[in-house]
Structure 1
Amino acid sequence: MSERLQIDLINEVSVRISGQVVPLVQSRKTVALMAYLAVTGQPHRREHLCELFFPDTNDPKGSLRWSLTKLRQALNTHSTCLQTPGTSVLIDADLISLDVHHVQAVHDAADPSSADLVEVAELLSHRPFMGLELSRNDDYALWLMGEREQLHSLRPRIFQRMVTAEDVSDQDAVKWLRRWQRLDPYSHEAPRLLSQKLTDLGLQDEAAIVARDYTALMGDSAVIEPRRDPLEPVRTRQSIGFCKASDGVKIAYAKVGNGPPLVKTANWLNHLELDWESPIWADMFHALAADHTFVRYDERGNGLSDWDVPDISFPAFLEDLETVVDHLGLTRFPLLGLSQGCAVSIEYSIRHPEKVSAMILIGGYAAGWRVGLSPEEREQREAVLTLTRHGWGTSNPAYRHIFSQTFMPNADSERLAWFDDFQRRTTSPENAVRFQEAFGDIDIRHLLPKVQTPTLVLHARDDQRIPLRCGRELAANIPNAELVTLDSQSHIILGDEPAWQVCMNEISRFLAKHVPEGRKGRR
């Protein structure tokens, strides 16, 4: 049998046979097509490939034929790797060696060699699929993003196993741990293992610096604690997927943790990759994922979901939640709503009472700012809309800072700056305005008495974004709802606030009472 073709996509794109480089055509779409076929390793209909790679060409079928001709010339010199049976196209995975598959195999191996671990760690130190991005190819971009996320999710296990291997020197272990910490700055495991290794080597001062920097980044409540088993699999590694709403809008969702499901409704604003390890939400999200399969999603118009959408409205927000739940096949689960996500949660629980076992509403409201606020407050919100239209996308954070300070009035400058930048990266100026207008028109007050689901309402006593009276209105009108006021000014309760621990304790108590099986997922 001929030697298998080697295709590399992670560090740099290349094709080799017997060590000799095979030249590729200078067409980004053609090379991206090769990467897609090689990674998926399965047949794809020609129509699908035309839609994925050539939606903006006058002759998609002709463009695909041209690309396949160029790929045959490069790939099929020693064996028929590229095959076109009937109306399908595939690259036979058995006839090639692919670095992406090698990385996954080493990750999954029961006892990989240190050499393999070092090789794969080096590969995972690079940004995968560089140069394979395509403009105006949304479906392909979502696939590429998912593949990158999958490779990044393999880093922790690879690095952990490598630095604890018997034949890896202490010097190399420290070197790789520092690299891991640089690659994943919000990782909990990298600084913990690095601090532990430095302490074992008698380098207490350096270990103290690692712990200090970790606390500065993650907040005063973050503490580096040793884990019993350094090779214990990390549960809190999220996986990201995509599904489509009925109007064709692509919605990104994430799952993380073990145990029974807990679904969080989208709020202002979300980005599955950025907020998971953020200094704003990470404490809450990681705590919730410890006992549940924690499900989040980016609603239309922001984050990893489609931005260019025809409809940003309350009914569309509700459909986004329904789309994710149906796609994942969830049958019964507690629902967590934050801010305007509370209104979406409430209407969903009324439409689907058989699915929602309990409901937790934090900082929520039943009537949007055009409906439920005073004339003076409405005038202020209209002024903010004007500022958003003209200043959201600029490099000057002053416009976005208006939001940041009302969400977290007591946050330190670093977290305020992070949230300023986060908002800019999470949605467009146009969508930021559309979101605010949609939130202003929400009015579900008439639905509150229809809620059948056990409900916990949590609200900061001095919330500067959504007044406490809004939370009281929810609790007063939802049958048998519990109300807990939190001693804070924040709309987003931060992990180093005393109110945060009170909030988390109340959530745990409520779920244990109304969803007893919720504690069984903990391991």
Structure 2
Amino acid sequence: MHESSVQLCEGPGGARVAFASLGQGPPLVLVPGWLCHLHELWTHPAAASARRKLTAAHRLTWYDRLGCGLSDRQGFELSLENDVQQLTAVMDAAGIDRASLIGYSFGGPPAAVFAARYPERVQRLVFCSAFARGSAITTEERLEALKHVVRMNWNVGSRTLAAMLVPNGGAREMQWYGRFQRMAASSAMAARLLDHLWTMDIRDLLPTLSMPVLVVHNRGDRAVPLSAGQEIAALAPGARMEILDGNEHDPFLRDSGSLVELILDFLAGRQPATQRHPSMPGGELSTREREVLQHLAGGASNKAIATALGISVGTVERHVSNIYGKLPAHGRADLALRAVKLGLVSPAP
């Protein structure tokens, strides 16, 4: 597989939008989140792994929104219509007539508008850690406080945001994510984009979507609450909702609950892997994984499990992800049933 090369296309108002493509297969376009950088995102090992999985089955195209990364950082107005025009320009320049879209976080609304406006160009639509309206994410007071920190000291602001977006990250990961944000955009642009986020509202058009829709959200997402994703699923006709047991916001820095495989199954029109494969007896679980599963079945939080077993929360998260891969299950209730069948806990009286 060849490495991607950056291309530039003319976006709204003549501003230049940077994009790249990699892989072969059905076209898949990633609509970027709040901050983005064509190259820097994939320098994280987990993100690089996610890209390898996606590009093994699809021609993946991604781009930097105006104001970020390698795209023009000045000379344009922020608006949802501008966001949609950027997506349109990238697809046209990349020669993509029809594609599936992944609208990640901030990218959810423009992906939805494009899909509603040009249904013939969208095969399937995935909302990942996304929202239908900015006001569903936080209060105006909290938004103003966050913008103040970002404007006053971008070093502190980026670290504050890193702790919210990847709460289980260690010191090295926090350092990486803070640096990524500062490379992606200036403090002024980051604050402007937060203002832009607050104005978004696509609730009226979601019921008009006609293509298959998947909504994927982590249960404990600290940046965009689960209720925001559930609102999308409630409004989009026939949407499938998949709730993963994690608290990360960025979907590619930690593959919680085999996220990429879930998306790939949906894009291919397959049932989720957890439904396609027969249940495993559980013999592949390690001793530590069986211990974690036993605590999960008892209703313990990841933090409580970490304390009980003397390991880090991040290690617990990795064990939970492995358990989901070995024991097909949808949520902790299913895991509890599996634990009973494996004899790890007694059934409730």
Q: TM-score, normalised by structure 2?
A: 0.74
Instruction: Name the structure 1 match of 2:266.
Output: 510
What residue identity is the alignment partner of 1:507? I
Matched, 1:298 2:54: no
CA change 1:407–1:304 in 2 (3 A) is same
Deviation string 1:171-213 (CA, Å, 9 cap, x unpaired) is xxxxxxxxxxxxxxxxxxxxxxxxxxxxxxxxxxxxxxxxxxx
Counterpart of 1:317 in structure 2 is: 83
Q: Distance in 1 between matches of 2:51 and 2:101?
A: 14
Compared CA separation, residues 280 and 313, structure 1 to 2 (3 A): farther
After TM superposition, the structure 1 = structure 2 runs for residues 364-513 of structure 1, keeping only pairs within 5 Å, are: 364-368=130-134, 371-373=135-137, 377-392=139-154, 397-493=155-251, 497=255, 499-501=256-258, 503-513=259-269
Task: From the superposition, tell whether residues 280 and 399 of structure 1 become closer, same or farther in structure 2 (CA, over 3 Å).
Answer: farther
The question of whether the paired residues in 2 share the 8 Å contact of 1:454 and 1:514 is answered with no
Deviation at residue 453 of structure 1 after TM alignment = 1.2
**SS of alignment partner, residue 141 of structure 2:** helix
3-state DSSP of counterpart to 1:251: strand
Partners of 2:43 and 2:122 in 1: how far apart?
27
Q: Distance in 2 between matches of 1:426 and 1:372?
A: 25
Residue 55 of structure 2 corresponds to 289
Quote how far apart the aligned CAs of 1:281 are.
2.2
Question: 1:458 offset after TM fit, Å?
Answer: 0.2
**8 Å CA contact retained: 2:150, 2:156:** no
Whole-angstrom CA distance in 2 between matches of 1:316 and 1:432: 17
Residue type of the alignment partner of 1:419: Y
Written as runs of structure 1 = structure 2, the 5 A alignment for 1:20-35 is none
User: Which amino acid is the alignment partner of residue 372 of structure 1?
Assistant: A
SS state at 1:366 partner: coil
Q: 1:401 to 1:324 in 2, by over 3 A?
A: same
SS of 1:340's equivalent? helix
- Which residues of 2 match residues 22-421 of structure 1 at below 5 A? 235-279=1-45, 281-368=47-134, 371-373=135-137, 377-392=139-154, 397-421=155-179
Match of 2:344 in 1: none
The answer (yes or no) to whether the contact 2:245–2:257 under 8 Å persists in 1 is no
How far has the Cα of 1:496 moved from its partner? 5.2
CA distance in 2, matches of 1:484, 1:260: 23
Cα distance change, pair 494–414 in 1 and its aligned pair in 2 (3 A): farther
One-letter identity of the residue aligned with 2:175: A
* Aligned partner of residue 310 in structure 1, secondary structure: coil
Q: Which has the higher contact order (CA 8 A, sep 6+)?
A: 2
5+ residue gaps, structure 1, are 1-234, 516-523
What is the Cα deviation at residue 257 of structure 1?
A: 0.9
Unaligned stretches of 5+ residues in structure 2: 272-349
Q: Deviations over 1:435-474 (max 9, x none)?
A: 1100110001111101111000000001000000011110
Q: Distance in 2 between matches of 1:496 and 1:336?
A: 17
> Identity across aligned pairs (percent)?
31
- Structure-1 separation of matches of 2:130 and 2:90: 21
SS at match of 1:479: coil
Distance 1:330 1:424 in 2: 31
Task: Look at both structures and tell me which one has the larger radius of gyration over its CA atoms.
Answer: 1
3-state SS in 1 of match to 2:205 = helix
Q: Is the 8 A contact 1:456 1:510 kept in 2?
A: yes
Deviation at 1:315, TM superposition (A): 1.5
2:295 aligned residue: none
Residue 279 of structure 1 contacts residue 415 of structure 1 at CA under 8 Å; is this kept in 2? no
CA contact (8 A) 1:358 1:514 kept: no
Q: Cα gap change, 1:373/1:242 in structure 2, threshold over 3 Å: closer, same or farther?
A: closer
Structure 2 SS opposite 1:446: coil
> Offset of 1:292 from its aligned partner?
1.0
Give the whole-Å Cα distance in 2 for the aligned partners of 1:432 and 1:339.
Answer: 15
Q: Contact 1:283–1:495 (CA<8 Å) still a contact in 2? A: no
CA deviation string 1:295-338 (max 9, x = no partner): 00001000000001231222211111011011122111111111
Tell me the CA shift for residue 276 of structure 1.
2.4
Maintained 8 Å contact 1:236/1:290: no
- Relative to structure 1, is the Cα distance of residues 312 and 277 closer, same or farther in structure 2, using a 3 angstrom cutoff? same
Is the 1:365–1:466 Cα contact (8 Å) retained in structure 2? yes
Are the structure 2 counterparts of residues 280 and 428 from structure 1 closer, same or farther at C-alpha, using a change threshold of 3 Å?
Answer: farther
Question: Which structure 1 residue ranges, 4+ long, deviate > 6 Å from structure 2?
Answer: none
1:314/1:439 contact within 8 Å kept: no
* Aligned CA distance change for structure 1 residues 349 and 494 (closer, same or farther; 3 Å): closer
